[in-house]
Amino acid sequence: MKILVCISKTPDTTAKIAFTDNNTKFDTNGVQWIINPNDEYYALVRAIELKEADPSVTIHLIAVGAADTDAIIRKALALGGDEAIRVNTESGDSYVIASQIAQVAKEGNYDLIFTGKETIDYNGSSVGGMIAELLDLPYISLATKFELNGTTATVTREIEGGEEVCEVNLPLVVSCNKGMAEQRIPNMRGIMAARTKPLKVVEPIAVEALTSVTSFSVPPPKSGVKLVPADNVEELVRLLKEEAKVI
C-alpha cells in the first residue's frame, strides 16, 4: 500500500507576526519554520503507525514550496517517511496547492492520502477536500481515529455534538485531527537516515489561482483591565451593562 502524506511549512507558534509591502505579505525575517503540527502529529505519525503494523506500506511525503521547505521535509523523513516530493512553487491559494498535490497523486497511484485538518497559519481547512474532488475520491474530514482492514477503512470523525463512524473503501483522502496519533520526536538514527532518503523536486503544473491576498491585519491590542472590589457589586454591574454591554 502506498500512502501520500501532505505536509506544509508554517511559522513556529512562538513567531512574532508582522507584515510587509503595505500589509500584503507575511514578514519572514527571523521566523523559525516548522512542519505544520496537524500534518506532523496526526497525519504523518498515523501513517508511520500503519507502516509499523504492515512493513509493506510505503510512505511518500509531498510539500508545495520553494527550496527553503527542504529542511522541514528532511525532518519529516527523519520521523519515518520513505521518500519525499517537493513541488517547486509557492502559493497562498488553496486551489493551486491542491492542484499540484493532486497531479502528483494521479501519477503516483496512491491508496491513501493524509492531510492535517488545516495549517496553523491560514486555518483554511480546504486543501484536503479539494484534493479529493480533483481526484474524484471519497473524502473524510476531521478524522480522530483511523483503522484499516484490508482495503476497507473505518474512520471516526468529529461532528457537532459527537462522533461519526464511517466505513469506506480505498483509495480515499482523509484530513487528520487531534486523536489520530501521538507526537513523536525524530531519533538520531532517523535523522542520519533522512539525509540520504530521496527528495525529488518537480516543477509545478500551470494553475490559475482563485484567490489573492488584499491585506493582512493583526488583532487590536488588548485594553487594560479594570479591577472592581469584591464588595462593590453595583459598580461591577454598571461596568458590565454600560461599558462591556454584556448584560
Statement: residue 94 has pLDDT above 90: yes
pTM of the model: 0.86
Q: What is the DSSP string of 52-65?
A: HH-TT-EEEEEEES
Helix and strand tally (H, E) in the chain? 7, 13
In terms of Cα–Cα distance, which of 205, 213, 206, 142 is closest to 173?
Answer: 142
Task: Give the mean pLDDT of 113-132.
Answer: 95
Q: Which sequence spans correspond to the domains of the chain?
A: 2-215
Measured distance CA(213)–CA(159) in Å, rounded: 31
Q: Average pLDDT of 173-186?
A: 91
Whether the predicted pLDDT of 223 surpasses 80 = no
At the topology level, CATH places domain 2-215 in Rossmann fold (3.40.50)
Over pLDDT 70: what percentage of the chain? Answer: 100
The CA-atom distances, in angstroms, between 131 and each of 78, 144, 236 are 26, 20, 52
Decide if pLDDT at 165 tops 90. Answer: yes
The pLDDT score that the predictor gives to residue 206 is 96
Question: Residue 105 above 90 pLDDT?
Answer: yes
What pLDDT does residue 73 have?
97
Burial string for 13-51 (b: 16+ CB within 10 Å, else e) reads: eebeeeeeeeeeebeeeeeebbbbbbbbbbbbbbbbbbb
The pLDDT of residue 63 is 98
Confidence at 226, pLDDT banded by 50, 70, 90: confident
- How large is the average pLDDT for residues 86-106? 97
What is the mean predicted confidence (pLDDT) over 149-155?
Answer: 96
* CA distance between the termini of the chain: 58
pLDDT at 192: 87
* Mean pLDDT (the chain, rounded): 93
Q: State pLDDT tens for residues 208-219.
A: 999 988 999 888
